Structure formats: structure tokens, C-alpha cells
Structure 1
Amino acid sequence: MAPARVSQTELDARKIVGVNAETVTNVSSTDIPGHYPGEDHEWDLEDFRNTFKVKFHKHQPFDCAFSLIGIDASIANAFRRILIAEIPTLAIEYVFVHNNTSIVQDEVLSHRLGLIPLTGNPAGLRWLQQYRKPTDEDPVGSGVQDVNTVVMKLKVECTKADNYDELNKKREDDPRLLYKHAHVYAKDLEFVVSGRQDTFFSGEANQIKPVHPDILLAKMRPGQCIDMEMHCIKGIGADHAKFSPVATASYRLLPTISITKPILGNEAKKFARCFPKGVIGLEEVSRSEAKQKGSGYEGHEGEKKAVVKNTFKDTVSRECLRHPEFEGKVKLGRVRDHFIFMVESTGQYQSDELFLESVSILKEKCASMKRGLAEYTR
């Protein structure tokens, strides 16, 4: 039997998830072999190379947005999960408290320290290996070494300012002026170079330090002090959220809006208000449109009509479907294979580097699976 000929319009329609007033339709993927009789839907590498696209919409050090076009939802979700839980980062894991007379309990302060995002020389962070905790099978683990553990110290004491008496006479009530180290910040953490780490982390620009130096850790008054030593190790978000390299990593499908019948005049203005600003625009009906028979614009030359400007800004609220005057005039949907990713980095990696890291990890997973399958079938 000869292969079925399918128009491009039909192929494009298959990719749209229908968004109705109370239901969502056409949610399942259909581009699989045998789904449509007489059509070949087997996966082809060359076809994937020609159709897959990556578009960047926003690129900032801590925040980026980009689109992956032409992939399956399972692959897009794999990238999202890897971004959240499987890219290793450095964080404080062990806290040794030598002295803590502040009002913040040891456990609470240790927890706050663990959540501080750390950064440093990217090459050095990749050089660091993951620390293996001792287990029953491996009582020693990997042991504390310069290649898997970064040491930091926090040693601060609150004392009166040099001009305390003068400030006191002026009735100054700001403790940050009256005392030294009245507030303990993340910038008070001190990095201690160990062994071969000076190759990567020497100098102010390359050393391990907090991404945000003004994170408040504790407040103290004269006579109180904090003396701690911390061991930082690499881990993944699946073990603890503090190791996650992203504040959030999410995606959404590109919305589609199809105006099937003309929306004119005051209805057009109301229709535009149903969407976020910039999604729907108002244009005048041209003379040629007004003369064209069957266009729906006959006799409406110069009137305002609703047109779709930018669906990227749409949030698919379905507000327009709640008004009876728009019934049968608009169709909402989402493009099934167009994923808009939004990634917010915590600072250890640049936002765009995170996606490349997730690609590398997925590639390693695939290679591991291929090796296991080859051994199984051998």
C-alpha cells in the first residue's frame, strides 16, 4: 500500500493540545509508528537534526529562558528533573562547633550555613570529586581529602565599637554602629586553602565564597561569639535541596490562539483585555479586507479588529472562553513539542551552563544504559 499523503496543515494540527472551557483534548502524542495507517513515524536521526531547534529568549547570569522545539515531553521532563536533582554542586555538609554563645542554636545555625549558595573557580569546582560517606560496606568511604572537601571557618566576636561612648552620648540605637559584628553575614565565612586546592582557588576572584555575601546568619551583642569550622562537599539535589543548582527549573508549552471569526469594535477591546498585555493587538480593517467577500469584514472598513500579536506572553487563563460573545470565534491550545524552559540559577553555575550540564548527564546515563544492555545481551 502506498504511503498516505498528509497535508502540512493536518500535521501541524496534530501537534496542538486543545484547551477548552472545561476540558483539555488531544493530549497524547501520536507521532509513533503504526498510529496512523500508511504513515511512517519511525524516529530518524537526520530528521531530528533538521527539525530540532533551540531558541534563547532571555540570557542573564542567574536567569535564562529558552525554547526546545521538536522533542518529546519525556525528554524535556528528563532535562527538568536533572536540572533540579542531579547536577552536583558544592555546599556545607559538616559543621564543627567550637564555640557558639549567640542566641541562635547550633542546629539552626548549621542549617542556615548549609543553605548558603557557594561559588568559586568553575574549573576548580569541576575538579572537585564527590565525597563518599562511610557505610557498612565501605567503612572508610573516600576519606577527607583536598580533592573532595573544602574547609571554611567562621570566627567572629561581638565587641563595642571604638567610638561607642561617643555614639552612646548621641543616643545612637543602631547596633551595627554601636558594635562590631552585631550582625553576622555570609561574607564573614573564611575559605581555608588545603593541599592542591591553591591551583584552582587562589586569589580573591577564584576562591570559594558565598554567592550572596549579605545573607544574614545571626545577630550578636557584646560578649557573644561564634567559632565554627565547616566542611563543604559536592552532592546532588536528590540527596538534599541545598545541593540543587537551581532556585527553580520549569517549562511550559507554547500557547496558541486562533481567531476563527472576526472580532470587531468594542468586542475586540474586551477580547484584548481577556489576555495579558501584548498578546492581542487592535488593528483597523483595511479597504481590501472590507471588499473581500466571505472575509467577515464586509462593510467594516476602518473599524478595530482583534489580531494575535504574541502568544509567548499568554498564560492560557481561558478568560475569553467565559464570555458568550466570543463563543465559536476563538480556539486556544498549546504546541505539544514546543517547550519554553525557565531556569533560575542559585549562582554556582551560570544559568545557560546548567542546561549544558544536564545534557552531559543525560548523555552519560544513555551511555551507561547502552553498556548495561550490551553486557546483558552478550
Structure 2
Amino acid sequence: MIVFSMTHKNENIIVQTKHFYQTWDINNFIEGFQLKIINKTKFCIQLEIIGIDSAIINSLRRIIISESPSFAFENIYIFNNSSILNDNIIAQRLALIPIKADPRSMKFKKKNCFGNQFNTIVYILKTVNLSTDNHFCKRIYSKNLKISKHGSIIPFQSKTYYTNFQKNNIKISHLDLLIAKIKPKQKLFMELHAIKGYGYMHNKFSPITTAWFSYYSSIFFIKNLNYLKKNIFTYKKNLFIKKNINKTKTQKLSSLFFHDNYFTNLMKISNIFKVTQKNSNIKRKIILFITSKLLVL
């Protein structure tokens, strides 16, 4: 069900007061639906969607978070770790490193299937601190991870040759992520296997950090302030007055009008739409701007 609002017939004030329900219709949806990209960068996109129910928007948000495929390190084989961090701590840090790869170019790895160039990405981390200064700690970043051209070095694992196309299109998204610090003579040697998965399987497979949506404010302009003052008892529950656009011209008006007991708390926001969606508790905000040019005193 979609909620529609009727506009008050009186010409002195524009405010939505009555509500009724109407079944969903594809023609009405196509006529009122609008989608616009406001901002798009390498790691962020901001959309403006008009004419759609909040339940559908929330469904899209949840789909983006949990049902968009991406790659993450699933199996980490540690051969040498002489750092202060335990193996499980390093494994957890490595699992959250984002991998940039086209999910369409790889397949899902089955439970009892060996890794190959079509379902597994193999990385190698091999580094040592050769410094003679005992106080020097070498920082290990995500840029130190190198893709293994010939697959895994572990028996019964991936031994397939990776093509140049696959190598050039598989990268670590952020190269400055700190993994660990090692002191002189300490070593890190491990092999990492990345597979494709969904966010509902594990949070490490979620391709985005957050997805959220919010409402725009509904703005109405008062044409006749005297009419509003006479009918204050009718609209007092549904109005949130915001003073002001032109402070010099509306200062006297504000002192006469805003002293009313009904508007002592100017930050109180009333919900004129009464939140009719069953799956959403987000309230809409109604703001009435008083403009001196439109006032009839």
C-alpha cells in the first residue's frame, strides 16, 4: 500500500492534512519514479530516488550489503610467523583486506573442489626484517602481498598457471593497510587463498562498508499568516515553524507569533504523514518557511 496526501483547498495556506490508501499500480509508479546520481567517486556513490516506498529502498540497501558477490581471503596457510602477533590475529586482519576483481570472471568454489584459476586467487606474503638496529620495526602493509603466478606451493592445492589478463585485473584495493610490525630478524611467510562469496555468508565478503538512506524534508510556504493564526488549533499538531529567511523583516513578526505556547519548543518535529509504512519507523519532517514577501498582514 502506498500513502497519498491531499492538499488543503483553501488558497491561504498550503498544507497536507488528509490521507487515504490506494493499491500499488505500475503506471503510477513509472510516472512518479525518478533516479538521479548526485555524486559518484571511486569508493562512494550517492543516489537520489523519488517516488518509491521506503520498504523497497531498504530492501535494495540490504541486497547491496548481503547479496553482492566479492572476494576475500578464506584460507591462510602460515609457514613462519615470528612476530609478536598470534597466527589467528594476523589471519583475521588479512581476511578483511579488500580485493579488487570482477566477480563475473571467477566461479564459486565448491566445498569438495580443488582450487584452480577459475575459483581461487593465490597471494604470497614473504618478508623479513634485516635491520641491525634493534629499535627499528619494519611495517608490513597490504602492498607487500604479491599474487602467485603459478598458483599454490602447497600439495593438493592450486597448481594452475594464472594468465596475464587475470593478474592485471586482480589487485588489492588499498595498498596502505597495516598488517603487522616486525622487529629485526623476525619473519613472515604465508600463503593466502581468496574465493568468491556473499555478505550473508560472512561479513568479509561484503563489498561495501555501509549503505544508508534518509528522507528529504517536505517544505511548504505559508501564504497568509493571519489565516494560520486563526486556525492554529487545527494545524498546531502538524507544524514545525522555522524562523527565518529574512531576519530584519521578520523580527517583529517572530516576536508576535513565536511566543505562542504551542511553539515554545521550536525543535519539536511532528509527523504529518503518521508513518504508514509497516516496515519503517522513520518519520518525515515538515518545515514551514515564513517569507515576508508572501505575507498578507
TM over 0.5, yes or no?
Answer: yes
1:101 corresponds to = 82
2:166 corresponds to = 201
Kindly indicate whether residue 280 of structure 2 is the aligned counterpart of residue 324 of structure 1.
Answer: no
Shift of 1:8: 5.8
User: CA-to-partner distance for each residue in 1:227-272, whole Å, 9 max, x for gaps?
Assistant: 1001000111101111101110111222224465759xxxxxxxxx
Structure 2 spans left out of the alignment, 5+ residues: 9-14, 152-159, 227-239, 254-260, 281-297
SS in structure 2 of the partner of residue 80 of structure 1: helix
Q: One-letter code of the match for 1:324?
A: T
1:369 corresponds to = none
Kindly indicate whether residue 25 of structure 2 is the aligned counterpart of residue 43 of structure 1.
Answer: yes
Shift of 1:327: 10
SS in structure 1 of the partner of residue 73 of structure 2: strand
2:104 corresponds to = 126
1:70 corresponds to = 51
2:155 corresponds to = none
Shift of 1:283: 2.5
2:285 corresponds to = none
Pair 1:108–1:305, CA change in 2 (3 A): farther
Greater helix fraction, Structure 1 or Structure 2: 1
Pair 1:73–1:327, CA change in 2 (3 A): closer
Pair 1:106–1:49, CA change in 2 (3 A): same
Matches of 2:84 and 2:262 in 1, distance apart?
55
1:79 corresponds to = 60
Q: State the superposition RMSD in angstroms.
A: 4.0
2:211 corresponds to = 249
Q: How does 1:162-311 map to 2 (within 5 A)?
A: 175=136, 182-193=138-149, 194=151, 195=160, 197-203=162-168, 206=169, 208-258=170-220, 262=225, 282-283=245-246, 302-303=249-250
Pair 1:282–1:213, CA change in 2 (3 A): same
Structure 1 spans left out of the alignment, 5+ residues: 1-5, 11-15, 19-25, 33-41, 134-139, 177-181, 264-273, 286-301, 307-320, 340-378
Aligned residues: 238
Shift of 1:119: 1.1
Pair 1:282–1:199, CA change in 2 (3 A): same
Shift of 1:199: 5.0
Matches of 2:203 and 2:185 in 1, distance apart?
35
1:37 corresponds to = none
Answer whether contact 1:98 1:228 (CA < 8 A) is retained: yes
SS in structure 1 of the partner of residue 28 of structure 2: helix
Shift of 1:73: 2.8
1:360 corresponds to = none
User: CA-to-partner distance for each residue in 1:110-133, whole Å, 9 max, x for gaps?
Assistant: 01000111114x3xx321111122
Deviates more, 1:193-202 or 1:75-84: 193-202
Matches of 2:162 and 2:276 in 1, distance apart?
47
Q: Percent same amino acid among aligned pairs? A: 29
Pair 1:53–1:223, CA change in 2 (3 A): same
Answer whether contact 2:34 2:50 (CA < 8 A) is retained: yes
User: CA-to-partner distance for each residue in 1:279-329, whole Å, 9 max, x for gaps?
Assistant: 9752278xxxxxxxxxxxxxxxx44599xxxxxxxxxxxxxx99517599x
Q: One-letter code of the match for 2:108?
A: Q
Answer whether contact 1:187 1:209 (CA < 8 A) is retained: no
Matches of 2:243 and 2:147 in 1, distance apart?
53
Matches of 1:225 and 1:111 in 2, distance apart?
18
User: CA-to-partner distance for each residue in 1:148-184, whole Å, 9 max, x for gaps?
Assistant: 00000100011116xx6xxx9xxxx6x25xxxxx111
Pair 1:146–1:69, CA change in 2 (3 A): same
2:70 corresponds to = 89
Answer whether contact 1:154 1:226 (CA < 8 A) is retained: yes
